[in-house]
Amino acid sequence: MEKLEAELALLRTRAAALNSRHSAAEAAYDDAKVKLQRHHLEADLNGDDKSRAKFEAAVAAYAVTRDGYADALAEVQAKIADAEQKLAAERAAAERKSASEQLARDLDVVERALPDYLAAGKRFADALEKLHFHHESGAMALFIGNTATQVEVAAGFALVELRGMVRAIQDGVAPIPAAKPISASVPVSEPPTQTVFMMKSAKYRDRDGRSRFAGQFEDADMPVTTAQRALRLGVAVPVTDPKRARLRGSRGGDFDPRAPDVVDLDAVEEHKHVPHIDPVLRAANFTPLPTAEPRTILIDVPRS
């Protein structure tokens, strides 16, 4: 492959030089042809044969040069294609050889490990059989014995088939085994949180189980379930509540997380008889309409 790569590099360098010279010859040919055409259009056609012959000779010479470079460039490009094909074949052969050798090494490891596995399984099953009076131990011994037998039989067929693949891969009859896919880690979505405005100081646990403190008249970002509990208990109000604009930061950071009035949102019990009121409805301050006085209506009923 090193020889082919060196040859290919020289051919590509040669092709670049020929292409440059062919472009220059093409431009010179076009210029000479334009001059000859101008002579035909402007010069004295009856008496200026010497100039005409000069222009014609220039056109012919540049055409020969241009065509010569074109032919050489085409031949070099054909050699480049042939070299690239040979190099690709050599690389494929090297990849097949490497893959077949790797498979052979892997099979060697399996063949060395198989007897140890079968022997260890037999020793473990024999040890479990001494506990025959215990149902689970007997079931494990039976399972290990059956599994070892199945593995030994399957390995006999599989190893023979895989040994045949080693030569088939090297000869190009079988494809190179695909690489083991790398399992991509699935991003775990974080539990949602909610920001509320604290009317009382409180402590709670975040989504990672760590203890957190939320000071009075400050915003707090907490798990949604904890935030909803704080809203129901009146420990917090939504951040849209007008009291937030008036009270936020008024404590000036003067907090004692161990103070007796700090509410433990994870331990406090809610009164079950208190109806749940949505915090949005609570913030809207709806006033219930007065109910009408009950009235009695007499209905005539026919006698039977």
For residue 18, is pLDDT > 90? yes
Beta carbons of 58 and 32 less than 8 angstroms apart? yes
Least confident of 20-29, 134-143, 228-237: 134-143
Q: How many CB atoms lie within 10 A of CB 228?
A: 17
Average pLDDT for residues 233-253, to the nearest whole number?
Answer: 89
pLDDT at 297: 60
In DSSP notation, 217-278 reads: TSEEEEEHHHHHHHHHHTSEEETTSHHHHHHTTTTTT---TT-TT-EETTTPPPPTTSPP--
Least confident of 13-27, 172-186, 231-245, 248-262: 172-186
Cα–Cα nearest to 62, from 21, 6, 96, 13: 21
The fraction of the chain above a pLDDT of 90, given in percent, is 46
Average pLDDT for residues 205-219, to the nearest whole number?
Answer: 89
Average pLDDT for residues 102-111, to the nearest whole number?
Answer: 92
* Inter-axis angle of helices 135-171 and 49-129, nearest 10: 160
For residue 278, is pLDDT > 90? no
Per-domain boundaries in the chain: 2-95, 106-171, 193-284
pTM metric for this prediction: 0.45
Residue 154, CA atoms < 13 Å, CB-side half-sphere = 8
Angle CA 173–176–181, to nearest 5: 150
Chain centroid to CA 137: 45
pLDDT at 301: 55
For residue 294, is pLDDT > 80? no
Q: Measure the CA–CA gap between 141 and 151, rounded to whole angstroms.
A: 15
